[in-house]
Structure 1
Amino acid sequence: MAAAYRVDAQRWSELFETLMDTIEARFARPESRRRVRDFVAGLLAPLPVKNCWTIAEHAGDGGPGGMQDLIGRAGWDDAAVRADVREFVTARLGHPDGILVVDETGDLKKGVHTVGVQRQYSGTAGKIENCQLAVHLSYASPLGHTLLDVALYLPKSWSEDPARRAEAGVPDAVAFATKPQLARRLIETAVAGGLPCRWVAGDEAYGGDPQLAAALRSHRLGYVLAVACSHRAPTGLGVQRADQIAAGLPKQAWQRLSAGTGAKGFRYYDWAFIALPLAADAHRGHHSVLIRRNRTTGELAFYRCWSPEPVALQHLVAVAGRRWSIEESFQATKTGLGLDQHQHRRWRAWHRWTTLVIAAHAFLAAATTVNTETPDGLIAITVNELRRLFHALVIDPVRRVADVIAWSIYRRRHQDQAKASHYARQALTEP
């Protein structure tokens, strides 16, 4: 029984040190090098809320100022750190059949001062809300999957407002870009950085953009991109909507295939594949429409596909199924690593917080590959389970009573100062 519960915490620790040693090289000052390690460890900790205060307390600092400085004022390049994370992922999870997945996620906000916030549709909320949106790039391979890169969506209400830009510290070089344009930049950065990948997957927001699809073909990247039922494709019967194509298919055109494994079994759907030889362009390759039908409800989903070489239907189905890996990554980073718990309004601080969350998630994804053998009766160690084990076995600090009391005093003193300030301000306007 003891063997069934054996984990290699030492190798987890070595892997963490490898990643952090690389990241720390981006920091000139020794204080920042120590703090970034403590910050990532705090993100991995089971704190009820993650912010600079709680992470500083977890690290044993005397106050939150050091962590706030790391995120807001210290000199370091978050894009360079994400490049380090990409190289780490390439070494640990890289595979020739790797899949790049693009999707956006929203953080609900109150007020109008947080960079990028406005009333806009949020898939997280399922409706129009006051929120930020960010386009994320994730990497999925047979070895695992992780978030990889990010771009904050800056609406025109922000990009065309110099005063708001200046207040939030938006760099002058940042102009308005659509979500598909942001996704293209992220993908091209990953490809230029040497990340091994063969496919790209995304939802309708990206499948409906012909410029993104053309860019992927120019890089010889196959894609399985969701499209709307109104998407039009050239067929032997003329240009038809995707739902018209589906309506004209014979019964024998559908095949029952699994889009991958899930917690409750294989994810079986009915699938149909329609080749589109008339869609050939300068990039050559093979165009097609892929249609998925829910076996219970009959609901249809449509995908526009392209590959440099012919591929089997099962392969396209597998790529379509891997798109959901980014949703798992969003859930893991929001519930366990504080992706949406930042309290930063400015451009630089937002990107730094998100970058370090991505680094923490990449470490966890890579560490799950360390224990390659899973005993009978247990599932493989997940990212969430590894986070719990790693904190308990490797980074849990020995807390002194004096530290706990010192932080209680610090919080209460800060709250007293804030209270006095509020009363003094009120006294200037109230009788």
Structure 2
Amino acid sequence: MIVDRCLGSQAGAGWKDISFCLEVEMAQRLAVDPAPGPLEAFLAQFDSLLVSRAQRQAIRDYVTALLQPRDRNKTLTALAEAEPGREGSLHRQVQRLQWFLSESAWDHEPINERRITLLATNENTAAHPGGALLLDDSGNRKRGHASAYVSRQYIGSRAQIENGIVAVTTCWTDERIYYPLHTLPYQPAATLPQGKRDPQFRTKGQLAGELVAQAQTAGIDFRALVADCFYGPSESPHFIAELEAAAIPYVVAVKPNTPIKVDTGGTLTPAQRVRQAGWSSRSHPGRWRPVQRRFRDGHTEAWWAIELTLGRYGPECAHRLIVTTASPATLP
């Protein structure tokens, strides 16, 4: 395409009075090596968001490598099929991927929004009102303290406190598929100048509220939000209040030792209440009911469930409390 821009010194000026004339020819984009099979048609839809050929080639190499099986963890050296350690990190393809992920100038948010739009408009992956919005945080160990957001904190994948980075994430799922939606990094108070009083500090519950709003803005339908006990009423009461104010159904875990106010004025925990359910044996289960739990790999297990009446919870109340366990006798 050729664009001519000619400016005169005054209206109606002739060619001799032209102050300058600029002609720009926009060259056609250089081709890249296509990704395998149908993956190329998918990744080509992100090309308009990447300004250089190197970026468009790198995203193809990166996504292709992520989808291929590997014998070890998918670090950059593994994705590039290079030797682990310092020697492998100097491999040309490793350096290219490192540049793309950490140095190249591209914005991850438009890329992610384009991905979600493509999923939402595909009949095989479109979110529907029968699905669930999963909320959780994920952590990764990290050495040193130079990287942003790094601090000693609880890492869920390690089930202990370690040095690392934690992010709050959302995922949409139904009985067939699941895919990630949005992610927000958690900034620990210890890494901020004023700690929890710092204007930039946000709790995981506040981040969760932002993620739910992002999912709704993206047009993601879901039947209910599902989360673990960290986002429940005892740990994140303000987040639960936001969900109820917005009339968003939710299913969140409650810690067994959470004290719940009862009509007598005292408190009782779910663990204490469930021991009053009358379990004797499998042949005399009391109010326990057998349920079949199906796991992601397809296998099933026989579990037991019971609904408790406790404080504000009950079958006729707005809030219901369900206990499930593999063994009502030992309550592991």
After TM superposition, the score normalised by the length of structure 1 is: 0.56
Q: CA deviation at 1:19?
A: 3.1
Structure 2 unaligned regions, length at least 5: 1-35, 83-90, 280-285
For 1:294, the equivalent position in structure 2 comes to: 326
SS, match of residue 115 in structure 1? coil
CA distance in 2, matches of 1:233, 1:86: 40
Task: Decide whether the 8 Å contact of 1:98 with 1:198 is kept in 2.
Answer: yes
> Does 1:159 find its partner at 2:189?
no
In structure 2, the partner of 1:222 is 249
The equivalent of 1:253 in structure 2 is 287
1:37 positional shift: 1.6
Q: What displacement does 1:149 show?
A: 2.1
Measure how far apart 1:293 and its partner are: 2.4
> Considering only aligned residues, what root-mean-square deviation do their CA atoms show, in Å?
3.3
Q: CA separation in 1, counterparts of 2:77 and 2:300? A: 43
Which of 230, 242, 250 lines up with 2:270 in the alignment? 242
Larger radius of gyration: 2
- What's the secondary structure of 1:13's corresponding residue? coil
Confirm or deny: 8 A CA contact 2:136 2:168 kept in the other structure.
Answer: yes
Q: Distance in 1 between matches of 2:174 and 2:199?
A: 32
Of 217, 229, 234, the residue aligned with 1:192 is 217
Q: Does 1:70 align with 2:97?
A: no
Structure 1 CA distance for aligned equivalents of residues 66 and 249 of structure 2 = 35
Change (3 A) 1:17 1:142: farther
Determine the structure 2 residue equivalent to 1:369.
Answer: none
- The amino acid of 2:177's aligned partner reads G
Q: Shift in Å at residue 185 of structure 1? A: 1.5
Q: How far apart in 1 are the matches of 2:152 and 2:192?
A: 15
Normalized per residue, which structure has more helix? 1
The 1:275–1:83 alpha-carbon spacing in structure 2 relative to 1, beyond 3 Å, is: farther
Greater shift after overlay, 247-256 or 47-56? 47-56
For 2:59 and 2:272, how far apart are their aligned partners in 1?
A: 54
Distance between the aligned counterparts of 2:81 and 2:312, measured in 1?
Answer: 62
Structure 1 window deviating more from structure 2 (234-243 vs 83-92): it is: 234-243
- Count, aligned residues: 273
* Corresponding residue of 1:179: 204
Q: In structure 2, what is the equivalent of residue 17 of structure 1? A: 40
Structure 1 position 204, deviation (Å): 1.4
Unmatched tracts of structure 1, length 5 or more? 1-11, 163-172, 301-431
Is residue 106 from structure 1 mapped to residue 139 from structure 2 by the alignment?
A: yes
CA contact (8 A) 1:200 1:223 kept: yes
- When residues 154 and 89 of structure 1 are mapped into structure 2, their CA distance, relative to the original with a 3 A threshold, is same
How far apart in 2 are the matches of 1:264 and 1:79? Answer: 35
Q: What's the offset of the Cα at 1:198?
A: 1.1
Tell me by how many angstroms 1:187 deviates.
Answer: 1.8
Change (3 A) 1:110 1:216: same
Please report how far the alpha carbon of residue 25 of structure 1 lies from its aligned counterpart in structure 2 after TM superposition. 2.4
Task: In structure 2, give the amino acid aligned to 1:34.
Answer: Q
Name the amino acid aligned to 2:190: S
- Secondary structure (helix, strand or coil) at the match of 1:286 reads coil
Shift of 1:49: 5.5
Aligned to 2:236: 209
Q: Distance in 1 between matches of 2:81 and 2:297?
A: 36
Q: Do the aligned partners of residues 237 and 257 (structure 1) sit closer, same or farther apart at CA in structure 2, a change above 3 Å counting? A: farther
2:260·2:311 contact (CA, 8 Å) conserved in 1?
Answer: no
CA-CA distance at 1:287 after TM superposition: 1.0
* Residues 29-82 of structure 1 deviation map (CA, whole Å, 9 limit, x = unaligned): 233122212221122234545445565678xx9554443332223222212222
Q: Is residue 2:57 matched to residue 1:34? A: yes
